[in-house]
Structure 1
Amino acid sequence: MPERIAVTLPDGVRLHVEVSGPSDAPITVFLLHGWTLDTRTWHRQLSGLPEALHTPVRIVAYDARGHGRSDNTTRAGATLAQLGDDLAEVIATVAPTGPIVLAGHSLGGMTIMEFAHGHPLTFAARVAGLVFISTTAEGHTHTEYGLPSRITRLIRLLETTGAGILARGGSWRVHRYLLRALAPSLRWLLFGDRATPDDLILTTAAVARVQLLAIGAFRSSVGEQRRLATLAALGDLPAAALVGDRDRLTPPPCAESIAAALPDADLTVCPGAGHMLMLERPALVTAALAAVTRAALGDQRDSADLQAA
């Protein structure tokens, strides 16, 4: 079982953090969840990665502010820049030394980009590998929900209006009865060809825990983010970008642009999969995490060998 701790941020928000694996492991892997989700979406990777690596690894996963078991956020704190600062704080508190691999799904991937942009020296000193899953560096540029452009524009207008209303919802959550009614829509929006009942239940339960203010207030920051230049400046880190070809929120062009910006990134497009790759294609995601972590460990060992020589 992972150790559960609370990390208190400078503005007083407490984050729910789960840490597993030995404290003296040679590398730490951070798993960052998506918008309206929580750490439970990584449950198959939390159990599968140590076995896939065949070497000790420390894994850190946490619920973002306003999500899961973490404290609520204020409207001013519901920005990607703040999430990047939060990640820097969690790293400094939980894994202050040693190489790290950062893996982010959707909003989690965007958080990693904000961390790189806002904390470049820390990023350069600590990060040894990157995994981007169903995410984007270009806001809503490519998001068309798999629909004709006229319908997409209408949905975008409704989404913007709805986000403004939700941002005034404070600490309220989506009522479970409403979520039951919305389950078919969530299944269409988030999953591809297949969605098991357990995966849909887990996803719906995560949405039930997110603060309404967080659902609405993060929307503006997410839509406006542009971080391809930040990625292009990161150099030749081991990296992977994964996306489902049925992803309606961050379709393949999102991952393709990320992979193009990172010279050593492996791009994987998963046929028939949607936005929830950790649940839909768990073995593939775990394998990508393991491959990048192995490459990061190799880089560290090569560096140590050169210093010894």
Structure 2
Amino acid sequence: MSPRIVTRDGVSLAVEHGGPADADTTVVLVHGWAQDRRTWDRVVELLPASVRYVRYDLCGHGESDPPEATTIDRLADDLAEVVAAFAPTGGLVLAGHSMGGMTIMAMADRYPDLVRDRVRGVVFVSTACADMGRLTLGLRGVAGTVAHLIERAVATALVRYRPQRLPLGRRAVMLGARWLVFGRRPRRADVASVADQLLRAHPASVGAFQNEISLHDRTAALSVLRRTPGVVLAGTADRLCSVRHARAIADELDAARLVLCPGAGHMLPQERAREVADEIVALCRATSAPVVSGCPRVRH
């Protein structure tokens, strides 16, 4: 059984941590929509033993309870509580994938003093600061319009009818995940993990948070992180959060670099785990030396 924290409004969150308790810096890993902390499995395996990390299941995901309030602001509040409970002192490196990146932006908006005082580095992975209101899944014309309408209908139905489980079989979810969130030649184990995480998530929470993502706009909040060392990673084959979304984030951050991963999709913590881990470790070491990576850097 994972350690747990009960938030101020009574929701229990599953938390995992590792590494030396006396480390000067703690890495906090925040997963994305319809996934759970297993998103970071490959990255955690690559972190040196000297790096302390905390990862947890967002409310309504994995082993955590579903919330009453399904907002990204609520996720930001939970993140602040996890930090207070499991990393109360020292510096922080925050790494957020997809909705996890949006959660970090919301925390910067709601807790600017905490972020300015303690965050030493930030890693935004396959995420966006705005412009998520019309998801076309990388399709053009009529096909993109149909994809957007289906996405909206599914999110609405999950919230309205509140099924106990997603009405999809594992094989169908794997096929959909393979096309939707991965780039070229993904590992079957990674596709299976994404599918298992989706099937474990609370369906009504999945729908409600998808509605929240469509309204997300935290561009102004990035000013809190403007001078914080960081990196923005994006896969060039990402159907959900495109390179255009990544550039919009990088444009707001004076001390961050944009890193593009050719041929990769949305699931960079699995598809490009080495590159993601290297960037996190480099920030922990607070060094300007380049990290060897398979992804070309775009100077910003």
Whether TM-score is above 0.5 comes out as: yes
Mapped contact 1:142–1:251 kept (Cα < 8 A): no
**Equivalent residue, structure 1, for 2:201:** 210
**Equivalent residue, structure 2, for 1:180:** 171
Mapped contact 1:101–1:296 kept (Cα < 8 A): no
**What does 1:53-92 correspond to in 2, within 5 Å?**
56-74=50-68, 77-92=69-84
Q: Which has the higher helix share?
A: 1
Q: 2:190 pairs with 170, 179, 199, which one? A: 199
1:39 aligns with 2:37: yes
**Equivalent residue, structure 2, for 1:101:** 93
TM-score by length of structure 2 reads: 0.92
Alpha-carbon spacing, 1:171–1:63, altered in 2? closer, same or farther (3 Å): farther
Mapped contact 1:238–1:296 kept (Cα < 8 A): no
Shift of residue 173 of structure 1?
2.2
**Equivalent residue, structure 2, for 1:26:** 24
Deviates more, 1:190-199 or 1:103-112: 190-199
Shift of residue 142 of structure 1?
7.5
**Equivalent residue, structure 1, for 2:297:** none
- Alignment deviations for residues 60-91 of structure 1 (CA, whole Å, 9 cap, x no partner): 000000000111122xx111010011101111
RMSD: 1.9
**What does 1:124-139 correspond to in 2, within 5 Å?**
124-139=116-131
Cα distance in 2 for partners of 1:297, 1:22 equals 24
**Equivalent residue, structure 2, for 1:17:** 15
Amino acid in the other structure paired with 1:100 = L
**Equivalent residue, structure 2, for 1:112:** 104
Amino acid in the other structure paired with 1:114 = A
Alpha-carbon spacing, 1:297–1:26, altered in 2? closer, same or farther (3 Å): farther
Cα distance in 2 for partners of 1:4, 1:22 equals 18
Shift of residue 141 of structure 1?
5.4
Amino acid in the other structure paired with 1:124 = R
Shift of residue 297 of structure 1?
11
Mapped contact 2:33–2:210 kept (Cα < 8 A): no
SS in 2 for 1:184: helix
Amino acid in the other structure paired with 1:89 = E
Mapped contact 1:142–1:250 kept (Cα < 8 A): no
- Alignment deviations for residues 271-295 of structure 1 (CA, whole Å, 9 cap, x no partner): 1100001111111111111122222
Shift of residue 154 of structure 1?
2.0
Cα distance in 2 for partners of 1:287, 1:152 equals 35
SS in 1 for 2:251: helix
Mapped contact 2:222–2:252 kept (Cα < 8 A): yes
Percent of residue pairs bearing the same amino acid type: 41
- Alignment deviations for residues 172-199 of structure 1 (CA, whole Å, 9 cap, x no partner): 2225x62312321211001001111111
Cα distance in 2 for partners of 1:144, 1:111 equals 23
The alignment covers a number of residue pairs equal to 289
Q: 1:290 pairs with 281, 286, 296, which one? A: 281
TM-score by length of structure 1 reads: 0.89
Mapped contact 2:134–2:148 kept (Cα < 8 A): no
**Equivalent residue, structure 2, for 1:152:** 144
**What does 1:264-303 correspond to in 2, within 5 Å?**
264-295=255-286
Uncovered stretches (5+) of structure 2, i.e. residues with no partner: 290-300
Cα distance in 1 for partners of 2:75, 2:92 equals 18
Mapped contact 2:219–2:249 kept (Cα < 8 A): yes
Amino acid in the other structure paired with 1:274 = G
Cα distance in 2 for partners of 1:90, 1:248 equals 30
Shift of residue 169 of structure 1?
4.5
Amino acid in the other structure paired with 1:32 = V
Mapped contact 2:80–2:107 kept (Cα < 8 A): yes
Shift of residue 49 of structure 1?
1.4
Cα distance in 2 for partners of 1:149, 1:141 equals 16
- Alignment deviations for residues 227-280 of structure 1 (CA, whole Å, 9 cap, x no partner): 111113423111000010000000101111111110111111111100001111
Mapped contact 2:26–2:51 kept (Cα < 8 A): yes
Amino acid in the other structure paired with 1:82 = R
- Alignment deviations for residues 133-156 of structure 1 (CA, whole Å, 9 cap, x no partner): 000001415743121133222221
SS in 1 for 2:28: strand
SS in 1 for 2:285: helix
Mapped contact 1:17–1:60 kept (Cα < 8 A): yes
